[in-house]
Amino acid sequence: MTYKKIIKFILLISWMSIIFYFSNQKADDSSKLSSGIIVKIAKTIAKDKISKTEKEKILEKYVTLVRKSAHAFVYFVLALIAFSFFKEFYGISKKTFFYTILLCFCYSVSDEFHQLFIEGRSGEANDILLDTTSSAITTSINYKIRMLKRRKK
């Protein structure tokens, strides 16, 4: 394996480890993290203290959006890294496209399965669908852009 392939492999495993780390958090810890992010953003926007009632309303309104956006984001990044890794072996090809989406799908399934064993967490088919859709869209756009660039050369 070349130096470039090794670096990309390390990046891929590192990102998958980050996903695993966040999935390994107990439900309470994961909720505190999401809630903390939302409250910090709300306080920054409001530039004031937020009452407990306002805080609860904001959390109720945005917690699902933030959590699902996090899913989409981490699998967006995973798809970019995986595509880059597989490109080292197969170039800009249908194999690279297919293997990227397959890896992201399989990792999402394993991630949701893993969460079944974490206190307060559950494996959600909707999350697998979201993760895979995010990966597929990212990979499709990435593939299309690279194919267009190749044609221009």
| Predicted confidence (pLDDT) per residue in 38-52, tens digit | 877 777 777 667 777
pTM of the model: 0.88
- Tokens 């409001």 belong to which residue? 46
Query: Residue 27 contacts by C-beta under 8 Å, 6 or more apart in sequence?
Result: 118, 119, 120, 121
Burial annotation 76-112 (CB, 10 A radius, 16+ → b, else e): bbbbbbbbbbbbbeeebeeebbebbbebbbebbbbbb
Q: Where are the alpha helices (DSSP H) in 24-124?
A: 27-46, 52-90, 94-115
The angle subtended at Cα 11 by Cα 86 and Cα 151, nearest 5°, is: 35
Query: Is the model more confident about 141 or about 44?
Result: 141
Asked if pLDDT for residue 7 goes beyond 90, the answer is yes
Q: What is the pLDDT of residues 62-100, one digit of tens each?
A: 888 888 999 999 999 999 999 999 999 999 999 999 999
